[in-house]
């Protein structure tokens, strides 16, 4: 069988849209020593394809990081498949909170240098000396201590739509950028309890070990991240200290954890926490857009992108070489970067 997908993405998206198969969205990660990531990648692709898995998985010599969807009818077969691999046995599977089964439309498995880009030299510290793991109830208890520092280790566009109460929210665009930023911000609190959290826990595995290496004495991480926290809160009837949406890196772009809408449309400023990508493929900016602005701008991020999108394809092809759009200027959108005066129109 082929170990890559060769079907056009738009066709795959249409197939998924029309497919009535019930699917479950989940994520997982593990740090492990993989001697030949390329060979392991091909084996994993072959095995998961047999289970009808879609999603995005990164394989590196340090481990595996995946976000996938599985047909409900193949769920047990999928679990059996991963149990065949020694370092996958007993791995935590973080199941989506809100799930329509349309999170992924194909299977992609890539070999990377690291399963999360962090910019760290792992040879300079012991990544196994990580922070203590906290359950949802333990997290709630520790964060009632006024001395406790809560740190969001995600990117700004993730925390913009949802975060824990009283958390420090670094203005970082990448995890690599957040690590030194958080270390420097907390220099005066090295003796205080520091609780770190992220989406599913993988970023905090590395970040907590790095913070301990930098002299922080009491470092903890939310076990399983926001996804597992939300599950435990619901199952155990605990107080929910997370407000808003949890950003996710798939077609859904978010799952609601609480009813509050804490973000604003990047175009008009009205309450909104719906992430979209600009419909102009030459821009493709990730930003927040309310229904009224989606109609006004025809699902683009600016008048410039809206007008560009209606041009004939041959004209757009020529203009792509010289024109700059919000996506190339700002990357992931911030509210302050998209006030009308700043938009490229």
Half-sphere exposure of 166 (CA within 13 A, CB side): 13
Q: Which residues contact 340 (CB under 8 A, 6 or more apart)?
A: 267
Rounded to an integer, what distance in angstroms lies between the CA atom of residue 226 and that of residue 274?
18
Site of tokens 């898995």? 53
* Beta partners for residue 335, in sequence order: none
198 is catalytic: yes
Query: What are φ and ψ of residue 49, in 5° steps?
Result: -60, -30
Q: Which of 198, 272, 278, 283 is catalytic?
A: 198
Rounded to an integer, what distance in angstroms lies between the CA atom of residue 197 and that of residue 194?
10
Closest CA relative to residue 12, chosen from 97, 98, 108, 81:
108
Closest CA relative to residue 28, chosen from 201, 253, 230, 222:
201
Half-sphere exposure of 74 (CA within 13 A, CB side): 20
Task: With H, G, I as helix, E, B as strand and everything else as coil, classify residue 50.
Answer: coil
Furthest-apart CA atoms within the chain: distance in Å: 61
Rounded to whole angstroms, what are the CA distances from 285 to 247, 261, 282?
16, 21, 9
- Beta strand pairing call for 107-111 and 54-60: parallel
> Active-site residues: which are they?
198
């Amino acid at each position: 069988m082929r170990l890559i997908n060769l079907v056009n993405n738009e066709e795959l998206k249409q197939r998924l849209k029309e497919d009535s198969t019930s699917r479950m969205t989940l994520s997982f990660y593990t740090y492990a020593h993989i001697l030949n990531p390329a060979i392991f990648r091909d084996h994993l692709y072959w095995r998961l394809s047999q289970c009808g898995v879609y999603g995005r998985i990164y394989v590196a010599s340090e481990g595996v990081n995946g976000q996938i969807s599985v047909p409900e009818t193949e769920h047990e077969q999928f679990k059996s498949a991963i149990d065949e691999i020694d370092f996958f046995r007993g791995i935590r599977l973080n199941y989506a909170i809100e799930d329509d089964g349309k999170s992924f439309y194909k299977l992609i498995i890539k070999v990377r240098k690291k399963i999360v880009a962090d910019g760290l030299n792992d040879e300079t510290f012991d990544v196994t000396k990580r922070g203590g793991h906290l359950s949802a109830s333990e997290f709630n208890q520790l964060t009632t201590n006024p001395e406790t520092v809560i740190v969001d280790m995600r990117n700004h566009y993730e925390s913009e739509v949802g975060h824990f109460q009283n958390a420090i929210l670094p203005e970082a665009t990448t995890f690599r950028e957040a690590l030194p930023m958080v270390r420097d911000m907390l220099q005066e609190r090295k003796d205080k309890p520091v609780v770190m959290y992220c989406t599913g826990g993988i970023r905090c595995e590395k970040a907590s070990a790095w913070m301990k290496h930098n002299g922080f004495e009491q470092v903890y991480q939310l076990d399983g991240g926001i996804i597992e926290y939300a599950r435990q809160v619901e199952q155990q009837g605990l107080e929910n200290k997370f407000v808003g949406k949890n950003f996710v890196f798939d077609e859904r772009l978010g799952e609601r954890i609480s009813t509050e809408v804490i973000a604003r449309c990047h175009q008009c400023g009205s309450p909104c926490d719906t992430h979209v990508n600009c419909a102009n493929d030459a821009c493709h900016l990730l930003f927040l857009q309310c229904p009224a602005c989606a109609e006004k701008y025809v699902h683009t991020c600016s008048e410039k992108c809206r007008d560009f999108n209606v041009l004939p394809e041959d004209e757009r092809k020529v203009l792509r070489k010289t024109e700059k759009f919000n996506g190339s200027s700002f990357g992931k959108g911030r509210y302050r970067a998209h006030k009308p005066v700043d938009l490229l129109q």
